[in-house]
A and B are shown apart, each in its own frame.
Chain A
C-alpha cells in the first residue's frame, strides 16, 4: 500500500509542477496579447506624461463642465431608453405569442445595421423644415407643429434607438435559455406575471442586461458624428476639438484619459454588480412556454414591439430610400458593387482576426491560475472606449516606429529601399479594428464560455489531455455559437466604422462607410443615402443569421 501511495503523491506532485509551469506560460501569453492590444492605449498614456497642452486650463474653465454634463446626461438618458426598449422587447418576444412575433424577433436586431450617425442624419431629415414629417403636417394643415430633434434629448433618442439591440440580444438570450424552469416554478406557485418579471426575472437577467448595456454606453461615449451634427458637446467632440481645432494632441490625450476612466468606472460597476453571482451552467433549463393571451392583448403586444422596430429601422430606412430615389441617377454606379465587396472582405477578415484574439485572450487567462490575470486580461477590451480617431493615432505611434526602423535596416544592411510594412496597408487597418472591437467579440464568447461548467475540461486536463486539445475537442463545440455571434457583431461594427478607417485605410481601397461619410460630411446627406443603404443591406444578412443562431442556442 505504502509504495503505491507515495507513487500517487509523486505523480500528483509532478502534475502540480506541470500545472504551475503551464500557469506561468499562459499568464505570459495572456500578458503578451493584452500588451499587443493595449499598445496604442499605452502609446497614448505615455503621451500623458508629457503634461497637458497650454489650452488644457482654457478647456477646463470654459468647456469641461459642458462635456461632463452632456456625457453624464447621455449615459443616464440612453440607459433608461435602452433598458425599456431592450429588456421590454426581449421579455415580450420570449414570454408571449403574438402576430408576427417571429419576424419582429429579428427585425428588432436590425437597427444595429445602421450607423448611428446615419440614423441621426435621417431623423434630422424627417423632422427638418421641408422634411418628411413637416410635409405631412403641412398637408394636414398642422404645419405650426414643429419638433426639433437636434438637441441632447434628440441625441439620446437617436443613440438609444440605434443601439438598444445590444441589450435586447443579451437579455433575450437569457430569457430564452435560462428562464424556463424558474418561470414555470413561479407560475406554479401562483406568482403573478408582473411580479415574477420584476422580482424574479429582472434580478436574474441582470448580468446579461448589464453586459449589453455596457456595450451601449461605450458606443454612446464614443459617438462623434451624431453629437457633432446635433450640436451637443461631449467628451468625444471635445477630443476632436482639442486635437484638431486647438492643435493640441496633449490636451486631447488628457480628455481621452478622462473618458477612459469613465469607461473604467462603468466596467468596475459591472463587475461589482456581478460580484455575488456565480453563473452556473443551467443547461437543463427548458425553453419558456409562450403565453398566448386574448386577441386584443396579442395585438397590443404586437404594437408595443413594433414601435422600436419602426423608430430604429423602418423610419430611417424609409427616409434613406426616399433620398436614394432622388439621387440615384447621379450617385449610383457599378463601383458600388466593388465597394460593397471590398467592405465585405475587410469586415470579414477583421472579424475573424478579432475573434481569434478574443478567444485566445479569454482562454489563456482561464488556463492561467495566477491571481489577477483575469482582471488584467479585461484591459484588452478598453480599446472600445477610445474614439476611433484616437485609436488610429495610438496605432500609428508604435507601428510607424517599427516601419521606420524596418526601412532603415533594409536600407543600411541590405541596401534595399522598401515602403512601409504596416502603415498604409491592410495590416495596420485590421490591427486597429481589432484593438477597437475586441470588446465586441469578447463579451459573447466570454458569456458562452462561462456557461460551460469547469468540471468537464478540468477532468479532461486531469487525464493529461493538453489545454488546446481539450479546447478543440470539448469547449470549442460548446462555445461555437458565441464565437459565431462574435464574428457577426464585429463584422457589422467594422462595416459601420468610420474615423479609424478614414485615417488608416490603404490607397486603392475604399469602404461604404467612407463613401457615405464623404457625402454626409459635406452636407450632401441625400447623396449619402445610397452607400448607407448598401451598408444596411450588407449588414442585414448577417444580422438575420445571428438571430437564427441565438434562437437555436
Chain B
C-alpha cells in the first residue's frame, strides 16, 4: 500500500512538473509549439469544432478550462499576474464587464475586430468584444393569446397578465441583464415596481431553465414565457420529436419593437490582462469573428452572428428581422448587482 501511494504521489508530482515545463516553453517562446489558453463558459460541440479549425489553420494549440464565468473570474483574480489565461469567454456581457472592472482584461487594438464588431456590442475601450447575440423574447400560447395583446417588457407587469407569466429564477444571468437594461432605461424606482409587478403576475414560483418555461406554457400552466431566443432554436431542432412539437406550439414575440428594441445580450471574449500568449489570443478572437467561424456559431448553435456579413440560421430568419436595443452592453454589467438586489427586494426568487 505504502509503495502504491508513493508511486501515485511521484506520478502526480511528475505530472505537475511536466505541465509547468510546458508552460515555461510557451512563455519563453523556446518551443516550436505555440498555444493559447482559453477560459470559457461556452461549452458547445460547435465550439470544439471551431477550436480544432483554429488549430489546423494556425498551428496554435488551444487549451481549454471550462467553468462558469463567475468561477473563471474568481480563478483569474486569485492567480493574478501568474495566471495562465490568455482569453476569457463568457455567455453574457455583464460578466465581461465585471472582469474588466476587476482589472483582469486588457485593451486590444485590432483593425479586424474594430471593423467587424458593431460598437454597441463591444467595450468602448476595446477590453472585450461580442461574438454572438441572443435576444430575450416572449413565447406565448397561440390559442390563448393574440399577438396584438403583447407589446413591451414593461407591459408584463400589468394586471392583465395576472397568474399568466412563466419566467425563471432571478439567479439567472439573462434575467439579471434584462433587469439591468430596464434599470438603465426606466430608472431604479420603475424597475423595482416592474419586478414586483412581474412577481405578482407569475403563474408559479420560478424554477427550471428556459426550455422548461416553454413546456409549461404548452402544458397550460401559464400563457407567456420569457426566454432566450437560442433555446427556442435548439428546441425546434431537438432530437426529441415531442420537444419539437412543444416548441412549435408557441408563438414568438420580440418585445419593444416600437420603442428601444428587443433586449439582447452577447456571448463575448476578452484578452486576459496577464496573457502569456497575447498575440495568439488576439489571433484567436479575430478568428472567432471571421465569417467562417461566425457561420458555425450561427448555424449549429442558433445564435445571431455579430459579424453583419454573416446571415443567421434559416430557422432564425423565419422569425424575421427585428429591431434590437442598442444600449451599450457595458451598462448591463455596471447595473448587474443593483439588478440582483432589486430582484431580492421584489421577492423574485
Taking CB atoms and an 8 Å cut-off, the chain A residues in 89-136 that contact chain B are 124, 128-130, 135
The answer to whether A503 has its CB under 8 Å from any CB of chain B is yes
Q: Is there an interface contact between A352 and B5, defined as CB atoms closer than 8 Å?
A: yes
Cα distance A523–B4 in the bound complex, in angstroms: 41
Q: Is there an interface contact between A505 and B65, defined as CB atoms closer than 8 Å?
A: yes
Which residues on A sit within 8 Å (CB–CB) of B207?
A: 150-151, 229-232
Q: Is there an interface contact between B24 and A417, defined as CB atoms closer than 8 Å?
A: yes
Which residues on B sit within 8 Å (CB–CB) of A323?
A: 240
Choose one: B9, B11, B43, B340; the contact of A241 (CB below 8 Å): B340
What is the interface residue range for chain B against chain A?
35 or more
Instruction: Output the least CB separation between B204 and chain A (Å).
Output: 8
The answer to whether B117 has its CB under 8 Å from any CB of chain A is no
Q: Which residue, A150, A330, A331, has most C-beta atoms of chain B within 10 A?
A: A150
Instruction: Output the least CB separation between B177 and chain A (Å).
Output: 12
- A residues engaging B (CB < 8 A)? 55, 58-59, 62-63, 66, 124, 128-130, 135, 146, 150-151, 228-233, 237, 240-241, 243-247, 249, 323, 326-327, 330-331, 349, 352-353, 356, 389, 392-393, 396-397, 400, 403-404, 407, 417-427, 430, 499, 502-503, 505-508, 514, 518-519, 521-524, 526
Nearest to A323 among chain B residues (CB) is B240
Instruction: Output the least CB separation between B5 and chain A (Å).
Output: 6
> Known: A243-B70, A349-B12, A507-B65. Is A417-B28 also a contact (CB below 8 A)?
yes
Instruction: Output the least CB separation between B15 and chain A (Å).
Output: 5
The answer to whether B243 has its CB under 8 Å from any CB of chain A is yes
> Known: A146-B219, A229-B207. Is A327-B239 also a contact (CB below 8 A)?
yes
Q: Is there an interface contact between A231 and B349, defined as CB atoms closer than 8 Å?
A: yes
The answer to whether B210 has its CB under 8 Å from any CB of chain A is yes
Instruction: Output the least CB separation between B115 and chain A (Å).
Output: 30
Cα distance A129–B16 in the bound complex, in angstroms: 48
Q: Is there an interface contact between A419 and B84, defined as CB atoms closer than 8 Å?
A: yes
Q: Is there an interface contact between B209 and A229, defined as CB atoms closer than 8 Å?
A: yes
Which residues on A sit within 8 Å (CB–CB) of B66?
A: 502, 514, 518
- Pairs across A and B, CB under 8 Å, 6 listed: A237-B171, A245-B337, A393-B74, A403-B82, A419-B22, A419-B27
Q: Is there an interface contact between A421 and B20, defined as CB atoms closer than 8 Å?
A: yes
Which residues on B sit within 8 Å (CB–CB) of A420?
A: 20, 79, 82, 84
- B residues engaging A (CB < 8 A)? 1, 4-5, 8-9, 11-13, 15-16, 19-24, 27-28, 37, 43-45, 63-68, 70-71, 74-75, 78-80, 82, 84, 98, 168-169, 171, 176, 205-212, 215-216, 218-219, 231, 234, 238-240, 242-243, 245-246, 336-337, 340-341, 344-345, 347, 349
Q: Is there an interface contact between A526 and B239, defined as CB atoms closer than 8 Å?
A: yes
Instruction: Output the least CB separation between A249 and chain B (Å).
Output: 8
Cα distance A396–B37 in the bound complex, in angstroms: 19
Q: Is there an interface contact between A421 and B16, defined as CB atoms closer than 8 Å?
A: yes
Besides A130-B218, A502-B71, A505-B65, 14 new A-B residue pairs in contact (Cβ under 8 A), listed by A number:
A130-B245, A150-B207, A246-B340, A331-B45, A392-B71, A400-B79, A420-B20, A421-B20, A425-B19, A426-B15, A427-B16, A502-B66, A508-B19, A522-B44
